[in-house]
Structure 1
Amino acid sequence: MFNLANNLTLARIATVPILVVLLYFPGRGTCLAAMLLFIAASVTDIVDGVVARRRNLVTTLGKFLDPLADKLLISSLLIMLTSLGWVEAWVCVLIIGREIAVTGLRAIAVDHGVVISADRFGKLKTILQMVALCPLVLHFPWYGLDPNPLGRVLLYVALVLTLVSGANYFYGFGKKAMWTGAPTR
């Protein structure tokens, strides 16, 4: 249960309160520290999956914790950035709302014997959200360069991909439910 892959995922979850505290006191140093910690946590998302597959450490706990860790990490940063006025609330609501909706859909699907695995849009969405959040968390200009415009553009692109991937999951479930006869209500 507590193998290397799952421990990396748990470490990613453990960074969430640290990131929140760092952003609770926004300044050049705390934002830089938060961005570096966020990058380290994001890298563990890739590493834990590779470790789990290569060492045959894929577990039910890991399948549950890995997407949960991503959602906690990204949602907590979005909420903090929204509270600081650095991200528009509607963007935060749409991204987190999509995450909740897809999580609920997966729970319904499992109840009907349909497995909804992460697809390429969902994986790309997570990567793009993580990349977009880095300049937004950094926030302050460095060496005359303002990271916010880049972060905003990337976040809007991530938002579109987030909504497209969410719609894709719902479409995929509807299609599977029709073929398997699983009730969709």
Structure 2
Amino acid sequence: MLTLANKITLFRIVIVPLIVVFLYFPGRITCLLAMLGFILAALSDMVDGHIARRSNTVTSFGKFLDPLADKLLISSVLVMLSALGWVPAWVVIVIICRELMVTGLRAIAADEGVVIAADKFGKMKTVLQMLALTPLLLHYPWFGFDPNPAGQFLLYMALILTVFSGGNYLYAFYKNWRTADAG
């Protein structure tokens, strides 16, 4: 159960409170540290899946833990950025509600023996959210560059993709449900 890939995923979960603590005391250095921790966690998201597939050590625990780690990381950062007034609360609510909806749909489907796998839009959504949060975490201008406009633009693009991919999951669930009812 504790394969190398799963240990990397657990690292991603463990680093979340550290990022939150850095954001609890916002300043140039703490935001830089929070961003660096976030980048490290985001990179670990790419590495763990690659290692699991390459070493043929994909586990049920890993399949559960990986999306949970992503949701904890992104949701925690979004909540902190909203609390700081750096991201609109309604954006955070929409993103977190979508995550809860998809998790719920997957749980219902799994109870019926149906797997609703992550699709390309869901994966793209996660990458775009991570790309958006990186400059938003940096927050303060550095060497004349203000990271906020780029981060805000990417966040709204991620929001659109988040809603679209949530609708896509809802449609996949509905289609599976209708097929099961017809059969």
Does 2:108 match 1:112? no
Following superposition, the deviation at residue 114 of structure 1 comes to: 1.3
Partner SS state of residue 181, structure 1: helix
Q: How many residues align?
A: 183
Does 2:47 match 1:47? yes
Residue identity opposite 1:156 in structure 2: Y
Following superposition, the deviation at residue 182 of structure 1 comes to: 8.1
Report if aligned partners of 1:78, 1:87 keep a CA contact under 8 Å in 2.
Answer: yes
Map residues 29-178 of structure 1 onto 2, 5 A cutoff: 29-178=29-178
Report if aligned partners of 1:112, 1:182 keep a CA contact under 8 Å in 2.
Answer: no
Identify the residue that residue 9 of structure 2 maps to in structure 1: 9
Percent identity, please. 64
Partner SS state of residue 115, structure 2: coil
Following superposition, the deviation at residue 40 of structure 1 comes to: 0.6
**Matches of 1:77 and 1:44 in 2, distance apart?**
16
**Matches of 1:158 and 1:106 in 2, distance apart?**
21
Partner SS state of residue 128, structure 2: helix
Residue identity opposite 1:115 in structure 2: V
Q: Give structure 2 stretches of 5+ with no counterpart.
A: none
| CA distance 1:13–1:144, change in 2 (3 Å) | same
Report if aligned partners of 1:114, 1:177 keep a CA contact under 8 Å in 2.
Answer: no
**Matches of 2:173 and 2:8 in 1, distance apart?**
30
Identify the residue that residue 28 of structure 1 maps to in structure 2: 28
**Matches of 2:68 and 2:52 in 1, distance apart?**
16
**Matches of 2:4 and 2:89 in 1, distance apart?**
36
Partner SS state of residue 57, structure 2: coil
Following superposition, the deviation at residue 178 of structure 1 comes to: 1.5
Question: In angstroms, what is the RMSD of aligned CA positions?
Answer: 1.1
Residue identity opposite 2:63 in structure 1: K
**Matches of 1:13 and 1:139 in 2, distance apart?**
23
**Matches of 1:112 and 1:57 in 2, distance apart?**
26
Runs of 4+ in 1 over 3 A off after TM superposition: none
Report if aligned partners of 1:5, 1:62 keep a CA contact under 8 Å in 2.
Answer: yes
Following superposition, the deviation at residue 177 of structure 1 comes to: 1.6
Length-normalised TM-score, structure 1: 0.97
Deviations 1:63-108 (A, max 9, x none): 0000000000000000000000000000000000100011001001
